[in-house]
Amino acid sequence: MRVRNAGRVTEHLWHLGRDEAGVYILEGRDGAILINGGMSFILPDVLQQMMDFGIEASKIRKILILHSHFDHVGIVPYFTRTYPGIEVYASAPAWKILAMPKAIEVINNFSRLSEKQIGLEGILNSYNMEWRDDITGITLAEGDTIDLGDIVLSILETPGHS
């Protein structure tokens, strides 16, 4: 199933962003998790959609980075800097890449190019979304879980894309 429009997918799951770059929010009893970081240029859409749907950003307690490509980590810096204490989860290979200065430079450059391409230049800087070495987190591996109270995510490693 491909979800193209922002909105509720299931009772606890929301799709936000744009067709070409979406993120998911899974709401549990003990808070919510942002799944995927999307592209930086979707942040204004995501914030507006959260307001429209009544999703409280302060309830996002965790972020799951699916892999370290620029189009999957874009809005992570905004949330970690705006809501200190958010736990960020990623695989060991993802954290290794996200700690490399050259990789951070590439992520930021590709984010800027994408913003320019769609006519939204400057979003990266105006929302403080540049990747820096201040984003760290928890390493996940096959079989690990993330507990949201009444919902538990099970981690299945699927290496190969990144």
Question: Do residues 59 and 27 make contact, with C-beta atoms less than 8 angstroms apart?
Answer: yes
pTM (two decimals): 0.94
Domain limits, the chain:
7-154
Q: What is the CATH number of domain 7-154?
A: 3.60.15.10
Residues 6+ apart with CB under 8 A from 119: none
Per-residue pLDDT tens digits for 59-76: 999 999 999 999 999 999
Residue 113 has pLDDT above 70, yes or no: yes
Kindly report the backbone phi and psi dihedral angles of residue 93, in degrees, each rounded to the nearest multiple of 5, phi listed first: -60, -35
Residue 29 has pLDDT above 80, yes or no: yes
Report d(CA 10, CA 138) in Å as an integer. Answer: 27
Residue 5 — very low, low, confident or very high, per pLDDT cuts 50/70/90?
confident
- 7-8/13-18 β-pairing: antiparallel
Q: Which residue has the tokens 């808070």?
A: 31
Residue 124 — very low, low, confident or very high, per pLDDT cuts 50/70/90?
confident
